[in-house]
Amino acid sequence: MADNKISKLFAILSIVVIVSVGCQNGNSVEPFNYERDTPAWLKVKIDSMSTNQYYHGSQVYRYIWRNDFIYDIFIPVSSCVYCEVFNKDGAKITFTGDIMLQDYLNNRKDEILVWEWKN
């Protein structure tokens, strides 16, 4: 009877250790790297922005929205907010109404600052 309890305890501890190690390995996320993680089309756009005074003080953010990367360009001198939002392929996203914009604002996550024009 005691051997049976020890066997069960050993089996449970083994499972806990295996699950614990597996979770630790599965949760490791590499930090954002501009060169590796920025799409080519966005690098070209940022290169263009970095020489145009209109974009002085601008910031480019990456979010996850609807299970995909979205790139949001904030331009301080622009009167249009959320007009420079692109999907991962560089296609411009046009918010077709308040519901879609609210969904974007409420459900985007994992904000990463990709680039900024520092003063």
Q: pLDDT tens digits for 45-83?
A: 999 999 999 999 999 999 999 999 999 999 999 988 899
| HSE-up of residue 69 (Cα within 13 Å, Cβ side) | 15
Burial of 85 from C-beta contacts in 10 A (0-12 / 13-18 / 19+): buried
The pLDDT, as a whole number, for residue 89 is: 97
DSSP state of 3: H
- pLDDT higher than threshold 60 for residue 40: yes
Question: Rounded to whole angstroms, how far apart are CA atoms 87 and 69?
Answer: 6
Check residues 41 and 118 and name the one with the higher pLDDT.
41
Question: Rounded to whole angstroms, how far apart are CA atoms 12 and 34?
Answer: 43
| HSE-up of residue 70 (Cα within 13 Å, Cβ side) | 23
| HSE-up of residue 40 (Cα within 13 Å, Cβ side) | 0
Check residues 92 and 25 and name the one with the higher pLDDT.
92
